[in-house]
Structure 1
Amino acid sequence: MKGMYTYDLMESARNTSEWLGASARAMASYPVWGLVPHPMFKVMSAWGRVTERSFARMVIKPDWDIRTVVGADERDHLVEIETLMERPFGDLIHFRVLGREPMARRVLLIAPMSGHYATLLRSTVKSLLPDCEVYVTDWTNARDIPVSAGKFDIEDYTLYLADFMRHLGPDLNVVAVCQPVPLALAATALLAAEDPEAQPHTLTLIGGPVDPDAAPTEVTDFGRRLTMGQLEHLAIQRVGFKYAGAGRLVYPGMLQLASFISMNADRHARAFSDKILAAAKGEDGERDAHNRFYDEYLSVMDMTAEFYLSTVERIFKRREIARNAFTVAGRPVDLGRITRVAVKVVEGTDDDISAPGQCRAALDLLTGLPEDRKASHLEPGAGHYGIFAGRSWRNNIRPLVLDFIDRNGGGGMPRRAGGKKTPIRAV
């Protein structure tokens, strides 16, 4: 599977599927078929439109699509994305709100590197922008990184996080979502040992696999069933000739997408059949719920082979974070060194990817942190995406996170003259 031909064959299949969709859409849309009273042509055109769009999205990085924020002055303020640190495998970006004084709360959102782009956190960013200065780790698609840039595994990822935190300074609140939770914990411990003044005020861990064995899921079972040799043989390919990273060993985004879809195949099949039927009836829209979700869901990125394999081996199989036995560049990372960073854990009762208990295990590992600096929240009825996006996040979890930040010295709402707090609302 490591041959470049398999990667190019997969890309050729995607390209062909996109072409078939475009051809069906074009052919079935000719006005002459209006003379034939048969629904087949409307269905064929609808199938073509949905198919073409779906396969095209797989190689397009979504836009952040965050243009304005309503400030305390009730005016729309333009949002500008600026790059603060540029690295081969990922950048540190800042959502700068023009014409607004810097907010007291400074939040670094650590986006997952697990198949989707950082734009997966778009709604999370939108919900925090009215009340915070927001920074995000914007990871680069591995297929676009030349082999000359070197390797990138979980130790390099951890060092990136430590550098980003160090750059932003100690008056920072870190929120890690899903996959980076154990590595954000390790990066904080690394700073606690080597650069204590660079530690953030607070660390919020949302639905991540600190201890995968605490509550096994289909994801953790899959990692247990296969040996590392089998996993490398089945999942790893070399980037094909089309991209700048030609020859780099990666876990392709297309394979990741196939595994995502297989977990809920019936639900996805029903969603697409409903979309095609709605399109045939003329009842769909460019920005309807289906397109908004799948434009993001189908946009996938490759991750480096060494990052994927080291994650499976060291986080899931050997449980180095769960055993407090993780090392970075030969240096042991002792989670017990975290003694002053307030840590909050957020989980969802219906999370089938990182089940309740996997993330909460972090609190037991923080042996040097006083109990009054620890907090946890279990959101009833929330699935994996619901704990950082959607209604559960907006209505319940986000206010709790902001309150946790404020109570632990991580900032607060700006004040009017006279000392009154000024609420700020989102667009």
Structure 2
Amino acid sequence: MKQMATYDLMETMRNTNEWLGASARAMASYPVFGMVPNPMVEMIAAWGKVTERSFARMVTKPAWGIGSVVGEDGRDHMVEPKVEIARPFGDLVRFHIPNRPEKARRILLCAPMSGHYATLVRSTVTSLLPDAELWVTDWHNARDIPVSAGKFDVEDYTQYLVDFMKHLGPDTHVIAVCQPAPLALAATAMLAEESPDAQPLTLTLIGGPIDPDAAATDVTDFGRRVTMGQLEDMAIQRVGFKYAGVGRLVYPGLLQLAGFLSMNLDRHTQAFTDKITAAARGEDSESDQHNRFYDEYLAVMDMTAEFYLSTVERIFKNGEIAKNAFEVNGKMVDIGKITNVAVKVVEGSKDDISAPGQCLAALALLTGLPDALKAQHLEEGAGHYGIFAGSSWRNNIRPLVFNFMDTHAERKAKNAKAEPAVKLAASNV
């Protein structure tokens, strides 16, 4: 599996399906067929249209597509994504809003690096922007990163988060969604020991695998069924000649997508059947719900082999975060060192990716943190996507997270006011 030919074969199959879809759409759209209307011709054109779009999206990075937000003055304010820190494997992007008074809340949103682009959390970004200054981790597609850029594993990922948090400073509220939750927790612990003044004000962990063994899912079961050698043989390929990362060992996004689709194959099959039928009847549109969802869902990115394998081995198989035995650059990371960063855990009762209990395990690891700085919320009826991007997030979870942030921002402000008075009293003794 580690040959370029395997990677290029997958890309060839994708490209062929895109070409077949485009050919079918073009052929069945000739005006001459209108002289003898035939439902089958309409179905062929619809199939081609949907197929071409679907396979084209698999190698296209989606745009953020956030043009403006409404300010307190009732006016639309333009949103300008700007790279503040550029790194080979990922950037820190700020969503700058010119001419709007700066918001008190400063939020770092740690987007997942699990096969999709950071734009997967677009709706989360959209919901946070009106009420906060926002930064997002924007991870790069490994196929586009030259081999000369070196490796990128879970330790490098954690160090990136440490650097981003240091850059933003101690008044930052960090939100980690899914995959980065355990590494964001580790990054905060590293700051607690190495740079206490740079720690974030709050840390919100949403549906992340802190302790994968706390509640079994298909994801954790798969990790237990295969050995690391089997996984490396089955999943790792070398980037082909088409991309700048030629020769780099990766876990291909197309392979990850196949796994995503297989988990709910019946539902996806029905969704595409309904879409083709609607297109044949002329009842679809460019921005309908199907296209909005699948334009994002089908857009996948490659992960470096070392990041994928080290995540499976160290987070899922060995449970290093769950056992508080995680190391970065040979130095042990002690989560118990976190003593004054308020931590909130959010889970969904119907989460089939990171089941309830996996993320909650973080609170037990925070042995140095007072209970007053710990919080948890279980959203009834919410699945994995819903707890950070669906109606459950917008209507219930987002207000709770904002309230959590504001409560501890006020706590810090009160402590800062009280501290000079204490120092002055001590000096007069």
Q: Return the letter of the residue paired with 1:387.
A: I
Structure 1, unpaired ranges of 5+ = 413-427
- Structure of greater relative contact order (alpha carbons < 8 Å, 6+ residues apart): 1
**Cα separation, 2, equivalents of 1:405 and 1:359:** 19
Q: Distance in 1 between matches of 2:28 and 2:35?
A: 12
- Report the counterpart of residue 48 of structure 2 in structure 1: 48
Describe how 1:200-211 pairs up with structure 2 within 5 A. 200-211=200-211
- How far apart are 1:35 and its partner, in Å? 1.7
- Structure 1 pair 169/53, CA: closer, same or farther in 2 (3 Å)? same
Describe how 1:115-194 pairs up with structure 2 within 5 A: 115-194=115-194
The CA distance in 1 between the partners of 2:411 and 2:238, in whole Å, is: 46
Aligned partners of 2:194, 2:286: CA distance in 1, in Å?
A: 51
- Identity among equivalent positions (%) equals 74
2:246 corresponds to? 246
Distance in 1, matches of 2:72 and 2:353, equals: 38
Report how many aligned residue pairs link the two structures: 412
Cα distance in structure 2, aligned partners of 1:113 and 1:128: 20
Task: Check conservation: 1:201, 1:410, Cα contact below 8 A.
Answer: no
Q: 2:256, 2:81 → 1: CA distance?
A: 28
Structure 2 gaps, min length 5: 413-429
Q: Does 1:329 pair with 2:315?
A: no
Deviation at 1:93, TM superposition (A): 0.4
User: 1:211-230 alignment to 2 at 5 Å?
Assistant: 211-230=211-230
- What does residue 347 of structure 2 align with? 347
For the residues of structure 1 that align with 2:24 and 2:349, how far apart are their CA atoms? 43
Mapping 1:293-308, distance limit 5 Å = 293-308=293-308
Within 2, Cα distance between the matches of 1:410 and 1:308? Answer: 40
Q: 1:172·1:410 contact (CA, 8 Å) conserved in 2?
A: no
Aligned to 1:111: 111
Rounded Cα–Cα distance in structure 2 between residues aligned with 1:38 and 1:204: 56
Quick one: which amino acid aligns to residue 90 of structure 1?
G
> Structure 1 residues 25, 95: closer, same or farther in 2, change over 3 A?
same
Q: Deviations over 1:190-232 (max 9, x none)?
A: 0000000000000000000000000010000000000000000
Alignment partners' CA distance in 2, 1:219 and 1:411 = 39
Letter in 2 for 1:181: A
Task: Indicate the SS of the match to 1:408.
Answer: helix
Please give the alpha-carbon distance, in whole angstroms, between the structure 1 residues aligned to 2:334 and 2:293: 40
Task: Find the residue that maps to 2:131 and give its secondary structure.
Answer: coil
Q: Distance in 2 between matches of 1:48 and 1:188?
A: 49
Structural RMSD (CA): 0.9
C-alpha distance in structure 2 between counterparts of 1:345 and 1:169, whole Å = 22
**What TM-score, normalized to structure 1?**
0.96
* 1:380 is the counterpart of 2:380: yes
Measure how far apart 1:179 and its partner are.
Answer: 0.3
1:411 Cα offset (Å): 9.9
1:105, 1:411 within 8 Å by CA — same for their partners in 2?
Answer: no
CA distance in 1, matches of 2:211, 2:247: 34
Mapped to 1, the partners of 2:44 and 2:224 lie a distance apart of 43
In 1, Cα distance between equivalents of 2:120 and 2:99? 27
Amino acid at match of 2:142: A
Offset at residue 410 of structure 1 (A)? 7.1
Which runs of structure 2 are paired with 1:15-94 in the superposition (5 Å)? 15-94=15-94
Report the Cα distance in structure 2 between the residues aligned to 1:357 and 1:161, rounded to whole angstroms: 24
Runs of 4+ residues deviating >4 angstroms: none
For 2:217 and 2:390, locate their aligned partners in 1 and report how far apart those are by CA, in whole Å: 23
Return the letter of the residue paired with 1:212.
Answer: P
Deviation at 1:37, TM superposition (A): 2.8
- Code of the residue aligned with 1:329 in structure 2: it is N
Residue identity in the other structure for 1:114? S
Aligned residue for 2:389, secondary structure, equals coil
What secondary structure, in the 3-state scheme, does the structure 2 residue paired with 1:375 have? strand
Q: TM-score, normalised to structure 2's length?
A: 0.95
Tell me the secondary structure at the aligned position of residue 256 of structure 1. Answer: helix
Question: 2 CA distance for matches of 1:213 and 1:156?
Answer: 24
